Amino acid sequence: MKVRFFYPILYLLAAILAAGCSGYHFNTNNNPLIGYDIKTVTVPMFINRSVIPQLAAPLTKEITLALNDYSGLRVVSNDNGAADAILIGIIESRDHYNDVVNTTQTLFTDGDVLKTIGNRSPFYYPVQTTYNFSLRIILIKRPTKEELDFFTSELAGNVGVNTIHPKVVLQDRIDLTGTFSRVARPTTTTLAPGEVNFVKNKGIFEKSLQDTCYQAAQSFKQVVLNAF
């Protein structure tokens, strides 16, 4: 009789332990930095060293919102310097705009678009554009001004993300890619929709950047999950 009940009891204990462990592993909303005694983080405006000028504000905002999702971790103003840690974000890309923003799909002028170009020879025009950049993130626990100056300098970027420093809690690089489709409408009259092509494409590009910044925040959460 004892032998008959031994295995069911083991199975029951294993199930209880598994349930407890699964609850621990999948609870990703608690402060992942508590083990480093970090309860408050400040996030200064990210440094933009890319050739895309509109990235710093939306990227800073999305990463800040991602940190605010963690219970027990508070993002505070950097005015008083009292935060437990500082998250530095540095946006980087290749040096030339044409190496960063590339046309990935074109169409040949025809129909009303062909009428728009007048006496010019037909040509291919861009309808889809892809861009690439990266976000380097460094979480430092109570850095001095000299340490901040170093990690925000180009020298630190040349050293790479694997720089070992006792105050650095997290350091990683997130590579990002975005794609958007362009509007190309004909301009055959003064009231033709093609008159606003540039304005529409600028808005589409900015919306795509916003979406890519949101994806960066999701990737950041995955980095944090894997690190801690």
**How is the chain split into domains, by residue range?**
31-227
Architecture of domain 31-227: 2-Layer Sandwich (3.30)
105-119 confidence digits (pLDDT tens) = 765 556 555 556 556
pLDDT for 123: 54
Average pLDDT, the chain: 78
* Maximum Cα–Cα distance across the chain: 98
Angle at 56 between CA 170 and CA 211, to 5 degrees: 90
| Percent with pLDDT over 90 in the chain | 45
Among candidate residues 212, 192, 13, the one with its CA nearest the CA of residue 132: 212
What would the mean pLDDT of 39-61 be, rounded to a whole number? 95
The first and second tokens of residue 25, run together, are 């592993």
51-82 confidence digits (pLDDT tens) = 999 899 999 999 999 999 999 999 987 666 78
Which pLDDT band holds residue 183 (cuts at 50, 70, 90)? low
